[in-house]
Structure 1
Amino acid sequence: MKTLTVLELSKLYNINRQTIYNNIKKGILSKNSDNKIDLAEAIRVFGEPAKKNDVKESVKLDSSNSTEILLLRQQIDMLKNQLDDAKERESFYQNQIETMQRLLEAPKADITTFTDPKSESTMPIDSKLEATQTDKYDGLTTTSEIKNKRIAVPEPVEETPKKRGFLSRFFLPNG
Protein backbone atom coordinates (compact mmCIF):
# COMPACT_ATOMS: atom_id res chain seq x y z
CA MET A 1 0.00 0.00 0.00
CA LYS A 2 0.91 3.60 -0.34
CA THR A 3 2.57 5.38 2.57
CA LEU A 4 2.25 9.09 3.26
CA THR A 5 4.14 11.62 5.35
CA VAL A 6 2.34 13.74 7.92
CA LEU A 7 2.45 16.75 5.58
CA GLU A 8 0.99 14.77 2.66
CA LEU A 9 -1.73 13.33 4.90
CA SER A 10 -2.68 16.79 6.19
CA LYS A 11 -2.98 18.09 2.62
CA LEU A 12 -4.94 15.03 1.50
CA TYR A 13 -7.54 15.29 4.27
CA ASN A 14 -7.21 19.06 4.65
CA ILE A 15 -6.59 18.79 8.39
CA ASN A 16 -4.00 20.35 10.68
CA ARG A 17 -0.69 18.48 11.21
CA GLN A 18 -1.05 18.91 14.97
CA THR A 19 -4.29 16.89 14.83
CA ILE A 20 -2.43 14.04 13.12
CA TYR A 21 0.38 14.15 15.73
CA ASN A 22 -2.21 14.13 18.59
CA ASN A 23 -3.93 11.03 17.08
CA ILE A 24 -0.52 9.29 16.88
CA LYS A 25 0.19 10.12 20.57
CA LYS A 26 -3.21 8.83 21.65
CA GLY A 27 -2.63 5.59 19.66
CA ILE A 28 -5.57 6.17 17.33
CA LEU A 29 -3.23 6.39 14.33
CA SER A 30 0.01 4.39 13.90
CA LYS A 31 3.21 5.05 11.93
CA ASN A 32 5.50 2.48 10.39
CA SER A 33 9.28 2.16 10.88
CA ASP A 34 10.20 4.94 8.39
CA ASN A 35 7.84 7.46 10.14
CA LYS A 36 5.23 7.31 7.39
CA ILE A 37 1.55 6.58 7.74
CA ASP A 38 -0.07 3.84 5.73
CA LEU A 39 -2.99 5.02 3.53
CA ALA A 40 -5.20 2.14 4.79
CA GLU A 41 -4.56 3.30 8.39
CA ALA A 42 -5.50 6.88 7.46
CA ILE A 43 -8.69 5.67 5.75
CA ARG A 44 -9.58 3.64 8.89
CA VAL A 45 -9.19 6.73 11.10
CA PHE A 46 -10.30 9.63 8.90
CA GLY A 47 -12.42 7.85 6.28
CA GLU A 48 -12.18 8.16 2.53
CA PRO A 49 -10.39 11.35 1.48
CA ALA A 50 -12.41 13.84 -0.52
CA LYS A 51 -11.24 14.00 -4.09
CA LYS A 52 -10.01 17.53 -3.74
CA ASN A 53 -6.83 16.83 -5.70
CA ASP A 54 -8.85 16.10 -8.81
CA VAL A 55 -10.87 19.26 -8.23
CA LYS A 56 -7.72 21.34 -7.79
CA GLU A 57 -6.19 19.97 -10.97
CA SER A 58 -9.33 20.70 -12.98
CA VAL A 59 -9.42 24.18 -11.47
CA LYS A 60 -5.83 24.65 -12.60
CA LEU A 61 -6.79 23.58 -16.08
CA ASP A 62 -9.78 25.88 -16.00
CA SER A 63 -7.65 28.73 -14.73
CA SER A 64 -5.10 28.23 -17.51
CA ASN A 65 -7.94 28.03 -20.02
CA SER A 66 -9.57 31.07 -18.49
CA THR A 67 -6.31 33.04 -18.71
CA GLU A 68 -5.98 32.05 -22.34
CA ILE A 69 -9.57 33.04 -22.95
CA LEU A 70 -8.97 36.33 -21.17
CA LEU A 71 -5.88 37.03 -23.31
CA LEU A 72 -7.75 36.14 -26.47
CA ARG A 73 -10.63 38.43 -25.53
CA GLN A 74 -8.19 41.26 -24.87
CA GLN A 75 -6.60 40.68 -28.26
CA ILE A 76 -10.02 40.67 -29.90
CA ASP A 77 -10.88 43.98 -28.20
CA MET A 78 -7.55 45.45 -29.30
CA LEU A 79 -8.12 44.32 -32.89
CA LYS A 80 -11.64 45.76 -32.86
CA ASN A 81 -10.23 49.10 -31.70
CA GLN A 82 -7.61 49.02 -34.46
CA LEU A 83 -10.29 48.21 -37.01
CA ASP A 84 -12.43 51.12 -35.82
CA ASP A 85 -9.42 53.44 -36.03
CA ALA A 86 -8.69 52.24 -39.55
CA LYS A 87 -12.30 52.85 -40.60
CA GLU A 88 -12.16 56.37 -39.15
CA ARG A 89 -8.91 57.07 -41.04
CA GLU A 90 -10.42 55.72 -44.24
CA SER A 91 -13.49 57.92 -43.96
CA PHE A 92 -11.32 60.95 -43.10
CA TYR A 93 -9.14 60.39 -46.17
CA GLN A 94 -12.18 59.77 -48.34
CA ASN A 95 -13.61 63.12 -47.20
CA GLN A 96 -10.26 64.77 -47.97
CA ILE A 97 -10.29 63.30 -51.48
CA GLU A 98 -13.84 64.51 -52.10
CA THR A 99 -12.96 68.00 -50.84
CA MET A 100 -9.90 68.18 -53.11
CA GLN A 101 -11.94 67.02 -56.10
CA ARG A 102 -14.51 69.75 -55.45
CA LEU A 103 -11.74 72.36 -55.25
CA LEU A 104 -10.13 71.31 -58.53
CA GLU A 105 -11.55 72.76 -61.72
CA ALA A 106 -13.17 70.40 -64.16
CA PRO A 107 -11.10 70.13 -67.36
CA LYS A 108 -12.45 72.27 -70.22
CA ALA A 109 -13.26 70.70 -73.57
CA ASP A 110 -11.44 73.52 -75.46
CA ILE A 111 -8.06 72.80 -73.88
CA THR A 112 -5.76 70.95 -76.27
CA THR A 113 -3.39 68.30 -75.14
CA PHE A 114 0.35 68.21 -75.66
CA THR A 115 1.35 66.82 -79.03
CA ASP A 116 4.60 65.19 -79.94
CA PRO A 117 6.78 67.50 -82.11
CA LYS A 118 7.70 64.60 -84.39
CA SER A 119 4.09 63.84 -85.20
CA GLU A 120 3.42 67.56 -85.71
CA SER A 121 6.11 67.82 -88.40
CA THR A 122 4.44 65.08 -90.42
CA MET A 123 1.13 66.95 -90.50
CA PRO A 124 0.29 68.88 -93.67
CA ILE A 125 0.82 72.64 -93.52
CA ASP A 126 -2.91 73.43 -93.88
CA SER A 127 -3.80 71.29 -90.89
CA LYS A 128 -0.99 72.99 -88.91
CA LEU A 129 -2.57 76.35 -89.65
CA GLU A 130 -5.97 75.07 -88.56
CA ALA A 131 -4.45 73.59 -85.40
CA THR A 132 -2.71 76.88 -84.53
CA GLN A 133 -5.91 78.79 -85.18
CA THR A 134 -7.91 76.49 -82.91
CA ASP A 135 -5.14 76.62 -80.28
CA LYS A 136 -5.37 80.39 -80.23
CA TYR A 137 -9.14 80.31 -79.79
CA ASP A 138 -9.80 81.94 -76.42
CA GLY A 139 -13.58 81.73 -76.34
CA LEU A 140 -14.00 85.50 -76.72
CA THR A 141 -14.07 85.69 -80.48
CA THR A 142 -16.35 83.81 -82.82
CA THR A 143 -15.08 81.32 -85.35
CA SER A 144 -16.01 83.63 -88.23
CA GLU A 145 -13.74 86.32 -86.78
CA ILE A 146 -10.88 83.82 -86.71
CA LYS A 147 -11.37 83.00 -90.40
CA ASN A 148 -11.37 86.70 -91.40
CA LYS A 149 -8.32 87.55 -89.33
CA ARG A 150 -5.27 88.57 -91.41
CA ILE A 151 -1.87 87.17 -90.67
CA ALA A 152 0.89 89.78 -90.53
CA VAL A 153 3.78 89.18 -92.96
CA PRO A 154 7.17 90.43 -91.80
CA GLU A 155 8.79 93.17 -93.92
CA PRO A 156 12.05 92.29 -95.70
CA VAL A 157 15.12 93.26 -93.76
CA GLU A 158 18.23 94.66 -95.45
CA GLU A 159 21.28 92.45 -95.38
CA THR A 160 23.87 93.41 -92.86
CA PRO A 161 27.38 93.68 -94.25
CA LYS A 162 29.75 90.85 -93.46
CA LYS A 163 31.97 91.56 -90.48
CA ARG A 164 35.57 92.30 -91.33
CA GLY A 165 38.67 91.82 -89.29
CA PHE A 166 40.90 94.66 -88.07
CA LEU A 167 43.52 94.44 -90.84
CA SER A 168 41.02 93.78 -93.63
CA ARG A 169 39.44 97.14 -92.94
CA PHE A 170 42.63 98.88 -93.98
CA PHE A 171 43.97 96.70 -96.77
CA LEU A 172 40.89 95.35 -98.57
CA PRO A 173 38.55 97.54 -100.62
CA ASN A 174 35.07 98.35 -99.31
CA GLY A 175 32.78 95.64 -100.23
Structure 2
Amino acid sequence: MDASKTFKKSRTTIYEALKNGELSRDHDGLIDLSELLRVYGNPMGVQSSTRTEQVQKDVHVHVQSEVETVLKDQISLLKNQLDLANQREKSLMQHIEDLTHRIEFKGTLEQSKKEDIEKINQSIDSNIATDPRSETAARSLTSPSAPEVVENKRIPVPEHVEPEPPKRGFLSRFFLPNG
Protein backbone atom coordinates (compact mmCIF):
# COMPACT_ATOMS: atom_id res chain seq x y z
CA MET A 1 0.00 0.00 0.00
CA ASP A 2 1.38 3.39 -1.06
CA ALA A 3 -0.48 5.26 1.70
CA SER A 4 1.62 3.67 4.43
CA LYS A 5 4.86 4.76 2.69
CA THR A 6 3.65 8.25 1.78
CA PHE A 7 2.25 9.07 5.20
CA LYS A 8 4.84 6.96 7.08
CA LYS A 9 2.15 4.98 8.87
CA SER A 10 2.13 1.27 9.23
CA ARG A 11 -0.41 -0.80 7.39
CA THR A 12 -1.79 -1.94 10.72
CA THR A 13 -2.40 1.67 11.83
CA ILE A 14 -4.25 2.39 8.61
CA TYR A 15 -6.38 -0.77 8.92
CA GLU A 16 -7.22 0.07 12.54
CA ALA A 17 -8.28 3.59 11.44
CA LEU A 18 -10.55 1.99 8.85
CA LYS A 19 -11.98 -0.41 11.44
CA ASN A 20 -12.55 2.38 14.01
CA GLY A 21 -14.26 4.57 11.39
CA GLU A 22 -11.60 7.27 11.36
CA LEU A 23 -10.96 6.57 7.67
CA SER A 24 -13.47 5.49 5.08
CA ARG A 25 -13.20 3.71 1.75
CA ASP A 26 -14.63 4.80 -1.60
CA HIS A 27 -17.28 2.80 -3.46
CA ASP A 28 -14.46 0.94 -5.22
CA GLY A 29 -12.89 -0.08 -1.87
CA LEU A 30 -9.86 2.20 -2.06
CA ILE A 31 -8.98 4.99 0.37
CA ASP A 32 -9.24 8.43 -1.13
CA LEU A 33 -6.25 10.78 -0.78
CA SER A 34 -8.49 13.48 0.70
CA GLU A 35 -9.44 11.06 3.51
CA LEU A 36 -5.79 10.43 4.31
CA LEU A 37 -5.08 14.17 4.25
CA ARG A 38 -8.06 14.79 6.53
CA VAL A 39 -6.91 12.26 9.15
CA TYR A 40 -3.10 12.45 8.93
CA GLY A 41 -2.50 15.89 7.39
CA ASN A 42 0.21 16.53 4.79
CA PRO A 43 2.61 13.62 4.36
CA MET A 44 5.93 13.96 6.17
CA GLY A 45 8.65 15.56 4.05
CA VAL A 46 6.21 16.27 1.19
CA GLN A 47 5.38 19.92 0.60
CA SER A 48 2.50 21.05 -1.54
CA SER A 49 3.60 21.13 -5.10
CA THR A 50 4.54 24.36 -6.77
CA ARG A 51 2.12 23.48 -9.56
CA THR A 52 -0.81 23.47 -7.10
CA GLU A 53 0.33 26.76 -5.63
CA GLN A 54 0.63 28.30 -9.09
CA VAL A 55 -2.88 27.13 -10.04
CA GLN A 56 -4.25 28.57 -6.81
CA LYS A 57 -2.51 31.89 -7.47
CA ASP A 58 -3.84 31.98 -11.05
CA VAL A 59 -7.37 31.27 -9.85
CA HIS A 60 -7.03 33.95 -7.18
CA VAL A 61 -5.77 36.52 -9.69
CA HIS A 62 -8.51 35.60 -12.19
CA VAL A 63 -11.27 35.89 -9.57
CA GLN A 64 -9.82 39.16 -8.32
CA SER A 65 -9.74 40.63 -11.83
CA GLU A 66 -13.36 39.58 -12.43
CA VAL A 67 -14.42 41.16 -9.15
CA GLU A 68 -12.58 44.36 -10.06
CA THR A 69 -14.29 44.42 -13.47
CA VAL A 70 -17.73 43.93 -11.91
CA LEU A 71 -17.05 46.63 -9.32
CA LYS A 72 -15.82 49.07 -11.99
CA ASP A 73 -18.99 48.41 -14.03
CA GLN A 74 -21.16 49.03 -10.98
CA ILE A 75 -19.29 52.24 -10.17
CA SER A 76 -19.79 53.43 -13.75
CA LEU A 77 -23.51 52.61 -13.60
CA LEU A 78 -23.89 54.45 -10.29
CA LYS A 79 -22.07 57.49 -11.68
CA ASN A 80 -24.45 57.56 -14.67
CA GLN A 81 -27.47 57.29 -12.37
CA LEU A 82 -26.11 60.10 -10.21
CA ASP A 83 -25.60 62.31 -13.28
CA LEU A 84 -29.19 61.64 -14.42
CA ALA A 85 -30.52 62.42 -10.93
CA ASN A 86 -28.56 65.68 -10.87
CA GLN A 87 -29.97 66.65 -14.29
CA ARG A 88 -33.52 65.88 -13.11
CA GLU A 89 -32.97 67.94 -9.98
CA LYS A 90 -31.62 70.88 -11.98
CA SER A 91 -34.58 70.71 -14.37
CA LEU A 92 -37.10 70.56 -11.52
CA MET A 93 -35.43 73.47 -9.72
CA GLN A 94 -35.65 75.53 -12.93
CA HIS A 95 -39.34 74.60 -13.25
CA ILE A 96 -39.97 75.68 -9.65
CA GLU A 97 -38.18 78.97 -10.28
CA ASP A 98 -40.27 79.61 -13.43
CA LEU A 99 -43.49 78.92 -11.53
CA THR A 100 -42.39 81.24 -8.72
CA HIS A 101 -41.74 84.04 -11.23
CA ARG A 102 -45.15 83.48 -12.82
CA ILE A 103 -46.88 83.69 -9.46
CA GLU A 104 -44.99 86.87 -8.58
CA PHE A 105 -45.85 88.38 -11.99
CA LYS A 106 -49.50 87.43 -11.60
CA GLY A 107 -49.56 89.06 -8.16
CA THR A 108 -48.07 92.30 -9.49
CA LEU A 109 -50.45 92.22 -12.46
CA GLU A 110 -53.46 91.79 -10.18
CA GLN A 111 -52.18 94.60 -7.97
CA SER A 112 -51.83 96.92 -10.97
CA LYS A 113 -55.36 95.98 -12.12
CA LYS A 114 -56.73 96.84 -8.67
CA GLU A 115 -54.91 100.17 -8.73
CA ASP A 116 -56.29 100.95 -12.21
CA ILE A 117 -59.84 100.08 -11.12
CA GLU A 118 -59.45 102.32 -8.04
CA LYS A 119 -58.29 105.21 -10.23
CA ILE A 120 -61.24 104.73 -12.58
CA ASN A 121 -63.65 104.57 -9.63
CA GLN A 122 -62.21 107.80 -8.22
CA SER A 123 -62.58 109.59 -11.54
CA ILE A 124 -66.12 108.26 -11.97
CA ASP A 125 -67.09 109.28 -8.45
CA SER A 126 -65.93 112.83 -9.17
CA ASN A 127 -68.00 112.93 -12.41
CA ILE A 128 -71.23 111.45 -11.04
CA ALA A 129 -72.45 114.75 -9.59
CA THR A 130 -72.13 116.55 -12.92
CA ASP A 131 -73.29 113.81 -15.37
CA PRO A 132 -76.30 111.57 -14.63
CA ARG A 133 -75.31 109.09 -17.37
CA SER A 134 -71.98 108.34 -15.68
CA GLU A 135 -73.64 106.20 -12.99
CA THR A 136 -74.49 103.45 -15.48
CA ALA A 137 -70.98 103.76 -16.95
CA ALA A 138 -69.48 103.43 -13.49
CA ARG A 139 -71.47 100.28 -12.83
CA SER A 140 -70.34 98.75 -16.12
CA LEU A 141 -66.68 99.60 -15.43
CA THR A 142 -66.56 98.30 -11.86
CA SER A 143 -68.14 94.99 -12.75
CA PRO A 144 -67.29 94.28 -16.39
CA SER A 145 -68.30 90.63 -16.12
CA ALA A 146 -71.89 91.40 -14.99
CA PRO A 147 -74.31 92.15 -17.84
CA GLU A 148 -75.94 95.56 -17.82
CA VAL A 149 -79.54 95.41 -16.70
CA VAL A 150 -81.83 97.79 -18.57
CA GLU A 151 -85.34 98.32 -17.27
CA ASN A 152 -87.99 98.20 -19.96
CA LYS A 153 -90.89 100.43 -18.91
CA ARG A 154 -93.11 99.56 -21.89
CA ILE A 155 -94.74 96.18 -22.07
CA PRO A 156 -95.96 95.17 -25.52
CA VAL A 157 -99.58 94.03 -25.71
CA PRO A 158 -100.82 91.85 -28.58
CA GLU A 159 -103.41 93.52 -30.83
CA HIS A 160 -106.16 90.86 -30.68
CA VAL A 161 -106.84 89.08 -27.43
CA GLU A 162 -109.78 86.72 -27.08
CA PRO A 163 -111.86 87.37 -24.01
CA GLU A 164 -111.97 84.67 -21.39
CA PRO A 165 -115.31 82.85 -21.08
CA PRO A 166 -117.14 83.57 -17.82
CA LYS A 167 -116.46 81.11 -15.06
CA ARG A 168 -119.26 78.71 -14.25
CA GLY A 169 -120.05 77.04 -11.01
CA PHE A 170 -119.97 73.35 -10.29
CA LEU A 171 -123.66 72.57 -10.93
CA SER A 172 -123.99 74.87 -13.93
CA ARG A 173 -121.35 72.87 -15.71
CA PHE A 174 -123.69 69.90 -15.76
CA PHE A 175 -127.10 71.46 -16.13
CA LEU A 176 -126.64 74.49 -18.39
CA PRO A 177 -125.66 74.18 -22.06
CA ASN A 178 -122.13 75.04 -23.14
CA GLY A 179 -121.91 78.68 -23.72
Give the TM-score normalised by the residue count of structure 1: 0.37
Q: TM-score, normalised by structure 2?
A: 0.36
Q: Which has the higher contact order (CA 8 A, sep 6+)?
A: 1
